[in-house]
Amino acid sequence: MSAPRADQRVRETLRNQRIELPSWAFGNSGTRFKVFAQPGVPRDPFEKIADAAQVQRYTGIAPLVSLHIPWDTVEDYGKLAEHAAALGVSIGVINSNTFQDDDYRLGSVCHPDPAVRRKAIEHLKDCLRIMAATGSDALKLWFADGINYPGQDDLTDRQRRLADALDEVYDALTGEQRILLEYKLFEPAFYATDVPDWGTAYAHTLRLGPKAKVVVDTGHHAPHTNIEFIVAFLIAQGKLGAFDFNSRFYADDDLMVGAADPFQLFRIMNEIVLADAVTPDSGIGFMLDQCHNIEPKIQAQIRSVLNVQEATAKALLVDRDALALAQREGDVLGANAILMDAYNTDVRPLLADLRVEMGLDPDPVAAYRRSGYLEKVIDERTGGVAAGWGA
């Protein structure tokens, strides 16, 4: 293939890439210690979607917004979907929340009391109805379930309760609806989590069937876990459903994706490129799951989208033929150098040029800052209560 044609294919793929934004990134958030409120923060899901539409406006590749229920509860979901469409975005994945109710102190779908399990399952089914009303086709399940002390509950029985709940929700899926099951090593439970790792999520989704897949939240692993291996494995098994992108230094830090370790993000996107899975036809979702506690939120989301885009562009530039040859010949250092050449390429000029082709400003962050949007919403959004983790 000649170089210009290769460049066209890279551009085409990048143009069709889609990154999904979390509604909760635009609300106030914090740590266990303090929520630092920011001026101009949305007061309801309509305003969160308006902020998300700004990210789409300047990046051109972020037209989907995930909702979190009950944080994004509204009376009329059809109206919310219309509002999104009018702003050039649409509703993506619906995230269930079975972790912020007093009843869930000992768990939700794994709770020892069947009445609490019933309540949690009914919430998940409500989310299916919200999907139908918003045009979303995926339900993301993250369970905070687990136990803090050895002996607190029966580990095996909790797995059975989990399986029963998942079976019931799976059976309630209609049409194109599907389940995305997320795992997390620890927190809020400390001794044992009921879906702690990809193996557990994989086993449950395998039992459920083809409409259930695994979510890899990049922040949910033990230090030094080789996440790209997990990604490669799940893709090969047809079980990678989506990413929750963010980055971490210590635990589930939820910092901007690509900020802590851009090389890891490149290695992950390299597996995605290898599997030809960058664009939406792969069926894999690329979502951000982040909180911006001290930095400006819309700008941080724009930066995060660009970080994923840059890592993808670098992965697309890997000389696959040369790499395959070096691998076949056992040229250890040659193969590694080919990958590093791509990683070390400055793709910013290519992406700036692509944006101009797409009718966008070559520098999304600068264009957003110049727009005065934040100043405008700070003026407009007076009164009411800013959205946050409880609202």
Give the x/- contact pattern for ligand RM4 in 146-175, rule: CB under 6 A: ------------------------------
Q: Which of residues 162-221 bind Mn ion (CB under 5 A)?
A: 217
Q: Which is nearer to ligand RM4, 153 or 244 (CB)?
A: 244
Residue 163 has phi, psi (to 5 degrees) of: -60, -45
Would residue 252 be called left, alpha or beta, if left means φ above 0 and alpha means ψ between -120 and 50 degrees?
beta
Q: Which of residues 286-325 bind ligand RM4 (CB under 6 A)?
A: 289
Q: Does 153 bind Mn ion (CB under 5 A)?
A: no
141 forms beta bridges with 181
Give the x/- contact pattern for ligand RM4 in 217-256, rule: CB under 6 A: x--------------------------x-------x----
Characterize the bridge pairing of strands 285-288 and 240-245. parallel
Q: Does 142 bind ligand RM4 (CB under 6 A)?
A: yes
Q: Which of residues 324-383 bind ligand RM4 (CB under 6 A)?
A: none
Question: By rule CB under 6 A, what count of residues binds ligand RM4?
Answer: 9
Angle at CA 299, nearest 5°, toward 34 and 80? 85
In 215-227, which positions are buried (b, 16+ CB within 10 angstroms) versus exposed (e)? bbbbbbbeeeeeb
Give the x/- contact pattern for ligand RM4 in 93-112, rule: CB under 6 A: --x-----------------
Q: Which of residues 285-304 bind Mn ion (CB under 5 A)?
A: 289
Secondary structure element (H or E) that encloses residue 178, with its range:
strand 178-182
Largest Cα–Cα distance in the chain?
A: 67
Q: Does 198 bind ligand RM4 (CB under 6 A)?
A: no
Q: Which is nearer to Mn ion, 23 or 351 (CB)?
A: 23
**Residue carrying structure tokens 């989310």:** 127
DSSP string, 182-236: E--SSSS-SSEESS-SHHHHHHHHHHH-TTEEEEEETTSS-TT--HHHHHHHHHH
Q: Which of residues 66-85 bind ligand RM4 (CB under 6 A)?
A: 68
Binding stretches for ligand RM4 (CB under 6 A): 68, 95, 142, 182, 184, 217, 244, 252, 289
**Which residues contribute to the site for Mn ion (CB under 5 A)?**
217, 244, 289
